[in-house]
Amino acid sequence: MEKLFKEAQETTLKAVTRRHFLLECVAGVGSIALGSMLGGCMGSRAGSNSSGDLLIDTMNPLAPKSPHFAARAKNVIYLHMAGAPSQLELFDYKPELHKLHNHLCPPSLLEGKKFAFIRGTPKMLGPQATFRQYGQSGAWISDLLPHFSKVVDEVSFLKAVHTDQFNHGPAQLFMHTGHARLGRPSIGSWVTYGLGTENSNLPGFVVLTSGGKTPDAGKSVWGSGFLPSVYQGVQCRSHGDPVLYISDPDGVSRDLKRKAIDAINTVNMEEYQTYKDPEILARIAQYEMAYNMQIAVPDVMDLRNEPEYIHELYGTQPGKESFANNCLLARKLVERGVRFVQLFDWGWDSHGTSADDALDLGFRNKCRQIDRPMTALLLDLKQRGLLDETLVVWGGEFGRTPMQENRDNQEMPFAGRDHHPDAYTIWMAGGGVKKGMTWGETDEIGFSAVSGRTAVHDVHATMLHLLGFDHEKLTYQFQGRPFRLTDVEGHLIQALI
């Protein structure tokens, strides 16, 4: 088979030009990409040119690749809280805000600022949680995260992250693609484009969702943009079939499926011998890997084979869709060599318009749902020796205002905060990140950064650096110029390394 694939590559180079292949044989490219995604069995590797730009192996674009320099992290688990949790109720403790509670907001905080919903003069809103310091690092953590308070010395906080978007969809796009408009590749796509995958039986980029809905920006936040579609995220489910149609229909046994594929591949091989078309070999690989995935995917996505103490640690309930289940699945996936695992947990919008989004009700429920499993994920990765090589990132798309939300100068019926792009908190752990530190600081009410102001592109540049990439050199040619995740911006947060 290896000899046939090499022969196909030579035939392609002789028979058609690159321009003809890309412009006229779109279907062929798609088949090769899909075949490779499903586990192309060709073993050649992609390299890089003198500038460090990657050269894709078109016959196997997901083959393992070497980064620009020695990496600290091999895999990424990104926990995105869709809807933007309030940093002022979780990590950014502001005693001064207690004193200002229910006072009218000073006009200086409103002048020249754009808010999603605030109109008129709102009142200041003190923290809706109690804070204490934990660990040797002395990190301030609220009482809403009692489990997480035990692992604060494993993480580093970025407390002065800012974005230029204050609506959910564009802000989520910006956080995950480096651009607020559609069409750019997600960070998971960039990582799999740069590194490939270590397990040809599973996708290199897996997405898991919880909370009942997908993010406001839709599936574009794990799309491949202008990168080949082989690099887009593959959404799996934590209940039912993990991938639709992964199970055989009633009456079709494993042996019968094997015989059917053998018969199809025999016909395909005869056709290849006649036409020497490499697309036919890709089709053969696609059938073979689809067959293999029917074993690999259900096995890795089955939580029932985990011991009881693991379920107790995470608070998992096999067969249900939950953030806890997805955290455990994330560990299982990186353990099997999946490069990038993206978790989206929906339901963090906290405007105070109803009990569901109130900071003292719905928000507390969301905290209870994530506290135990995200803590368990760090502990589980550490005890398995995986945390040092797995970068874990937690955060939302923007922060929350220190003032109570009002609309048309009317307070909301429950405690809530408006969207705030100027300062919010994310945290990172493992994968070469320093332990127990805080980078950046906000003012006494958490409204603006006073030190360590961090742009979204800085976060991206630092993540890529930990994976072994110079963010300025991980590029892809599109529409006549090289594009990158950090566009024309981004600086490494050296203090975090």
CATH number where 160 lies: 3.40.720
Distance CA 20, CA 12 (A): 11
The residue-averaged pLDDT of 29-56 equals 41
pLDDT in tens, 455-485: 999 999 999 999 999 999 999 999 999 999 9
On whether both 276 and 368 belong to a single domain, the answer is no
Count of domains forming the chain: 2
Query: Residue 4's pLDDT is what?
Result: 47
Query: Residue 236's pLDDT is what?
Result: 87
Half-sphere exposure of 369 toward its Cβ, with a 13 Å CA cutoff?
18
Out of 284, 300, 316, a domain closes at: 300
On whether both 110 and 183 belong to a single domain, the answer is yes
On whether both 154 and 223 belong to a single domain, the answer is yes
Listed in sequence order, the residues at least 6 apart from 309 whose beta carbon sits closer than 8 Å to its beta carbon are none
Query: Residue 44's pLDDT is what?
Result: 32
Query: Residue 278's pLDDT is what?
Result: 57
On whether both 154 and 109 belong to a single domain, the answer is yes
Residue 334 lies in a domain: yes
The residue-averaged pLDDT of 220-247 equals 80
DSSP 226-263: TS-GGGS-EEE-SSS-SSTT-SPPTT--HHHHHHHHHH
Out of 300, 321, 346, a domain closes at: 300
- pTM for this model (two decimals): 0.84
Query: Residue 14's pLDDT is what?
Result: 45
On whether both 119 and 262 belong to a single domain, the answer is no
On whether both 134 and 264 belong to a single domain, the answer is no
pLDDT in tens, 312-332: 999 999 888 899 999 999 999
pLDDT in tens, 355-381: 999 999 999 999 999 999 999 999 999
- pLDDT top residue among 112 and 348: 348
Share of the chain above pLDDT 70, in %: 83
The residue-averaged pLDDT of 429-453 equals 97
On whether both 314 and 253 belong to a single domain, the answer is no
Residue 214 lies in a domain: yes
On whether both 343 and 418 belong to a single domain, the answer is yes
On whether both 270 and 206 belong to a single domain, the answer is no
Residue 237 lies in a domain: no
Given a cut of 60, is residue 24 above it in pLDDT? Answer: no
Structure tokens at 63: 């083959």
Distance CA 348, CA 361 (A): 12
The residue-averaged pLDDT of 10-16 equals 44
Residue 353 lies in a domain: yes
Given a cut of 50, is residue 21 above it in pLDDT? Answer: no
On whether both 261 and 316 belong to a single domain, the answer is no
- Quick one: CA torsion of 15, 18, 24, 28, rounded to 10 degrees? 80
- pLDDT top residue among 41 and 334: 334
Query: Residue 290's pLDDT is what?
Result: 66
Contact 103, 124 (CB under 8 A): yes
pLDDT in tens, 57-110: 444 677 899 999 999 999 999 999 999 999 999 999 999 999 999 999 999 999
- List the domain range (segments joined by +) for residue 25: 1-37+243-300
Residue 54 lies in a domain: no
Residue 390 lies in a domain: yes
On whether both 356 and 283 belong to a single domain, the answer is no
Query: Residue 252's pLDDT is what?
Result: 81
* Confidence at 289, pLDDT banded by 50, 70, 90: low
Residue 60 lies in a domain: no
- pLDDT top residue among 291 and 27: 291
Listed in sequence order, the residues at least 6 apart from 207 whose beta carbon sits closer than 8 Å to its beta carbon are 188, 222, 233, 234, 235, 236, 341, 342, 343, 344
Give the lowest-confidence range in 299-303, 401-405, 416-420: 299-303
Given a cut of 50, is residue 38 above it in pLDDT? Answer: no
Query: Residue 244's pLDDT is what?
Result: 60
Query: Residue 255's pLDDT is what?
Result: 85
Query: Residue 203's pLDDT is what?
Result: 85
Query: Residue 41's pLDDT is what?
Result: 31
On whether both 312 and 453 belong to a single domain, the answer is yes
Give the lowest-confidence range in 214-228, 272-286, 368-382, 423-437: 272-286
Look-up: residue for tokens 């078109």? 58
Mean pLDDT of the chain: 86
pLDDT in tens, 150-206: 999 999 999 999 999 999 999 999 999 999 999 999 999 999 999 998 888 888 899
Cα distances (angstroms) measured from residue 338 to each of 39, 122, 123, 198: 13, 47, 47, 7
Residue 50 lies in a domain: no
